[in-house]
Amino acid sequence: MVKVTFTLDDQTVATLRRTAARLGKAQSQVVREAVRDYADRVGRLSERERVRMLAALDAIVRRRPTRTSGEVDRELREIRAARRSGGRRHRA
């Protein structure tokens, strides 16, 4: 484990101490669990974020293609051939 130093306001420290005493856990354990819980909650998208991202995806899907499928296929073939030849690190 790594020892770190944080500056907390008086109310947060009092809450931390009360919670640790009530749970019978070390204050550092309460902080670790709180950080883990917070990360789990924040890691998920909110409904507003989900709707915004879906709207962006819908806008992309509705856009008309700027190239034909043949042009895309040709570019992909060129990229694959370049990768197989070893790129800039190898002589042609």
The set of residues, in sequence order, having a beta carbon less than 8 Å from that of 45 and lying 6+ positions away, is 53
pLDDT tier at 28 (50, 70, 90 boundaries)?
A: very high
pLDDT at 92 over 60: no
Greatest pairwise CA separation for the chain in angstroms? 71
Q: Are 20 and 30 in contact (CB under 8 A)?
A: yes
64 lies in a domain? yes
Structure confidence at residue 91 as a pLDDT band (50, 70, 90): low
Amino acid in position 47: E
Q: Give the mean pLDDT of the chain.
A: 90
pLDDT for 85 beyond 60: yes
- CB count within 10 Å of CB 49 equals 10
List pLDDT tens digits, range 31-42: 999 999 988 887
- What does pTM read for this prediction? 0.49
Whether residue 78 is contained in a domain is answered as yes
Sequence letter at residue 1: M
Where in the sequence is the domain holding 23, given as residue range(s)?
A: 10-85
Domain tally, the chain: 1
Using CA atoms, how far apart are residues 38 and 55, in angstroms rounded to an integer?
Answer: 27
